[in-house]
Amino acid sequence: MSRVSLEGRVAVVTGAARGVGELLARKLSARGVKVALVGLEPDGLKQVAARLHTECEVWHADVTDHEVMTRVAGEVRERFGKVDIVVANAGVATGGPFVDSDPASWRRVIEVNLIGSAVTARAFLPALLESRGYLLQIASLAAITPAPMMTAYCASKSGVEAYAHSLRAEVGHRGVKVGVGYLSWTDTDMVRGADQDDVMRELRQRLPWPSNKTYPLGPAVDRLVEGVERRASHVYGQWWLRGMQGVRGYLPAVIGTVGQREMRRFADRLDGMRTGLVGAGGAADEQHRTTAATDRH
3-state helix, strand, coil in the chain (%, to 5): 60, 15, 30
d(CA 46, CA 19): 15
Q: Hey, what amino acid is at 43? A: D
Please give the Cα distance from 163 to 56 (Å, whole number): 29
Integer angstrom CA distances of residue 143 from 152, 154, 176, 216: 11, 6, 23, 20
- Which residue in the list 134, 153, 215, 236 is annotated as catalytic? 153
Do 52 and 26 meet the contact criterion of CB atoms below 8 Å apart? yes
Q: How far from the centroid of its chain's Cα atoms is residue 189's Cα?
A: 13
Ranges of beta strands (E only) in 189-250 are 234-236
3-state secondary structure of 187: coil
Q: 276 vs 3, 82, 121, 291, CA distance in Å?
A: 41, 38, 27, 17
Active site residue 250: no
Task: Count CB neighbours of 67 within 10 A.
Answer: 9
The Cα–Cα gap between 214 and 136 comes to 23
Q: How far apart are the first and last CA of the chain?
A: 53
CA distance 70 to 40: 16
Q: Distance between CA 259 and CA 97 in Å, rounded?
A: 12
What does DSSP assign to residue 244? H
Q: Which residues are catalytic?
A: 153
